[in-house]
Amino acid sequence: MKKKTFLTACVGAAMGLLTSCGARAQMPEGRLLSIEYVRSGMMAGYEYHGLLETTDNGDVLLTSMTEKFGEASRLKVDEQTLQRFRDIIKEEKIYNYARDYSPPFEVLDGYGWHLYIRFEGGKSIESSGHNATPGGEGLTRLRSLMTELVKSEKAVRLDENRARVFVFGR
């Protein structure tokens, strides 16, 4: 039975379904360029949207909702703060997240989420799900840090129109 499971894993790896035959992914090297985390209800819309991004001039900006279905604020982030995000990715082994999480049965309501992380050198982590999440506290820790930072006195609240564009893309 173990031999069959291992063979299935190897075939899955060859087809690009798994990282590799028995091996796990490693923490990507290079500077962290962006993180986007979105969680939304199937019927309720965006519950949370957080975006850490490197601008063309090299500044790193964090735009995030401050609470569930709440306002959005923006803050310039320093290298020390970027390292805090990298530490969470490494400690929670977010680089090992599967591409998709879903329950083994159909659910017609609930929530969905998407996480996209990009590093210098072209490496990225992409994972999403509906009504299921990976184990551990990775998503919670990323969201908590984003929310904590934009609640600081240095953060600038987005006006209603800019917040709508940020959250809904229009």
pLDDT at 158: 76
For tokens 């989420």, the residue is 113
pLDDT at 169: 55
Q: Which two structure tokens, joined as six digits, stand for 163?
A: 């917040």
From the list 134, 65, 123, 124, the residue with the least C-alpha distance to 98 is 134
pLDDT at 90: 97
SS (H, E, C) the chain: CHHHHHHHHHHHHHCCCCCCCCCCCCCCCCCEEEEEEEEEECCCEEEEEEEEEECCCCCEEEEEECCCCCCEEEEEECHHHHHHHHHHHHHCCHHHCCCEECCCCCCCCCEEEEEEEEECCCCEEEEEEECCCCCCCHHHHHHHHHHHHHCCCCCEECCHHHHHHHHHCC
pLDDT at 91: 97
Domain architecture of the chain: domains with CATH: 1-26 (no CATH), 31-168 (3.30.1560)
pLDDT at 165: 57
pLDDT at 72: 83
pLDDT tens, per residue, the chain with 170 residues: 444 443 444 444 443 444 434 456 899 999 999 999 999 887 767 788 899 999 999 899 999 887 776 778 889 999 999 999 999 999 999 999 999 999 998 887 889 999 999 999 999 999 999 999 999 999 999 999 999 998 888 888 877 666 655 655 54
